[in-house]
Chains A and B, each alone.
Chain A
Amino acid sequence: MEERHLTVDQEPPQEAAEVVNRREVRLEPGAEEKLVLQFMDSLNSYLSFSHSLSSTLGQAWMELASARHSMGTARLNTSLLDLKFHPASTTLKITECDDDAKARFVLRKWVSPEEVGEDEDSNSTKSSVPADDDDEAVRRERAKSLSVFGILIPPKLRAAQQSFERALETLVEMANMQSSFLNSFHQLHQEVEDNKE
């Protein structure tokens, strides 16, 4: 008898972990409905954002085409892109939601290279909306991005830049919704598998 207990205690760690994890995932009926609602909500939001993205990108391409028409094709093409070392000004912060273990993306726009270096070492919670004090830094980073295509920048190119920035914000929201509905989906899928056994 004692030996049998010892055998149970000495289950291979992976199987024991799976048993524990399955017990953790076993949902109450109310929680399951909540999960389904969360899945449907985030999927609906994802599809809404994708419609909005199509519209924003359509406008952005139109403005880009208009800028190319006024500047000339030679002044607005990829051969002008700088291949010297430079870090991205617009980056993402990834965090994990503690309650759901899903990824959360936060857009960080127009961060100067010095701030990027500082933030790698700290747990900065800089928001995606730049503070008023940083307006000058943001303007500088925006101008640097436009300067790849020359000094005299037509208004349509600036407008295109703003449209693509809005598209980026929508894309980050889409990524968050995707993370949410995939998380709900995996939990529901696990529940279905557990019910089958």
Chain B
Amino acid sequence: MANRAQIPTKNSALIAMIADEDTVVGFLLAGVGNVDLRRKTNYLIVDSKTTVKQIEDAFKEFTTREDIAIVLISQYVANMIRFLVDSYNKPVPAILEIPSKDHPYDPAHDSVLSRVKYLFSTESVASGRR
């Protein structure tokens, strides 16, 4: 396929998180927390004081770091930066939208599912066949 992205192979890549306090605390209990020598973490805790700019900056940082393989983002947080999440199309790190306590997961808003939805519309593969 033309312009196929390179998959960077790595032995110990991190899982980044942009989510509410309980979700981040829970996954930190599961051992995914990482603090590097510059005291930079692989998570951002989103609360009522977190600005959209901070969320955007964290998303851009996590998606450009070479040591991160998956970015978990609560779907309600992803909705705040939907334009940024929609424009992301690299294979690694993978972006996974997850539910939060107060906001259940809605597949209709998922950026990745929206991208492939057109295959089920009138402009499907079947209509392109001779």
Contact = CB atoms under 8 A, between A and B. Distances in A.
Interface stretch (B26-34, B54-62, B79-87): B26-34
Contact of A188 (B25, B29, B125): B125
A25 B2 CA distance: 9
B78 interface: no
Interface residues of B, number: 55
Nearest to A104: B7
B49 interface: no
B112 A119 contact: no
Given A54-B104, A54-B105, A93-B10, A86 B29 contact: no
A164 B37 contact: no
Interface in A72-121: 76-78, 81-96, 101-103, 105, 108-111, 116, 119-120
A34 interface: no
Nearest to A121: B11
A168 interface: yes
A105 B113 CA distance: 19
B125 A36 contact: yes
B12 A84 contact: no
B52 interface: no
Contacts of A54: 99, 104-105
Point out which of B8, B12, B22, B35 has the most chain A C-beta atoms below 10 A from its C-beta: B12
Interface string A177-197: 011011001111011100110
Interface in B105-130: 105, 107, 112-113, 115-116, 119, 125, 128-130
Given A94-B92, A182-B91, A103 B30 contact: no
A145 B59 CA distance: 25
A39 B23 CA distance: 30
Contact of B7 (A43, A103, A120, A124): A103
A61 B26 contact: yes
B14 A22 contact: no
A192 to B, nearest CB: 4
A71 interface: no
B51 interface: no
Contacts of B112: 178, 182
Interface of A: 17-18, 21-22, 24-25, 32, 36, 39, 43, 47, 50, 53-54, 57, 60-61, 64-65, 76-78, 81-96, 101-103, 105, 108-111, 116, 119-120, 122-124, 141-142, 145-146, 148, 157, 160-161, 163-165, 167-168, 171-172, 174-175, 178-179, 181-182, 185-188, 190-192, 195-196
28 contacts: A50-B105, A54-B105, A57-B26, A57-B98, A61-B22, A61-B26, A64-B22, A76-B25, A85-B35, A86-B35, A87-B34, A88-B12, A88-B33, A88-B34, A89-B32, A91-B13, A93-B10, A93-B11, A94-B7, A96-B7, A105-B69, A108-B12, A119-B12, A122-B11, A163-B26, A175-B69, A185-B116, A190-B1
